[in-house]
Amino acid sequence: MTTTIDLDTIRAHVERGAAVMDAQRPGWAELIDKDTFNIGDCAACVLGQSYENDTAYDEGFDNPFEAGAFELFGDAYGFDNNAPVLIEHGFSAPAGAEEVFAALDDEWLRVINERRTVR
């Protein structure tokens, strides 16, 4: 079964996620290595790269994605990489919607570039 999400929804999700990052992790966009960025990789996504050197990651989480997701969303995350709260903020896609990751990558990179040019 293929699940698709339209581009307007992807944009809304990513903007929502970026707003949370702006509020909770100012300067996050500067931490992202755009050459290795991959929203589908827990170490190379927005949360993975933003929380890579975080003390929470060092204190028991399996990867920086988990540390970031738990810090931002707590129990709503529930250690489920496809949790609705992550999808609604552009940090993940529904199970079975791997094709959505490419669109999420493109939109996150657009937002990262936008954040880097507004200083």
Q: Is residue 2 in some structural domain? A: no
Range of the domain at 106: 7-117
92 within some domain: yes
For residue 1, tell me if it sits in a domain.
no
Residue 119, pLDDT > 90, answer no
* Residue 33 domain-assigned (yes or no): yes
Residue whose structure tokens are 């094709």: 99
Q: Please count the structural domains in the chain.
A: 1
Question: Does residue 94 sit within a domain?
Answer: yes
pLDDT one-digit tens code per residue, 38-76:
999 999 999 999 998 876 666 678 888 988 999 899 989
Q: Is the residue at 40 inside a domain?
A: yes
CA–CA separation, 80 vs 69, rounded Å?
10
Query: Considering Cα of 72, then 78, then 63, then 109, what sign does the dihedral take?
Result: negative
Q: Are 104 and 5 in contact (CB under 8 A)?
A: no
Residue 99 lies in a domain: yes
Whole-angstrom distance, CA of residue 97 vs CA of residue 49: 22
CA pair distance 61, 16, nearest whole angstrom: 24
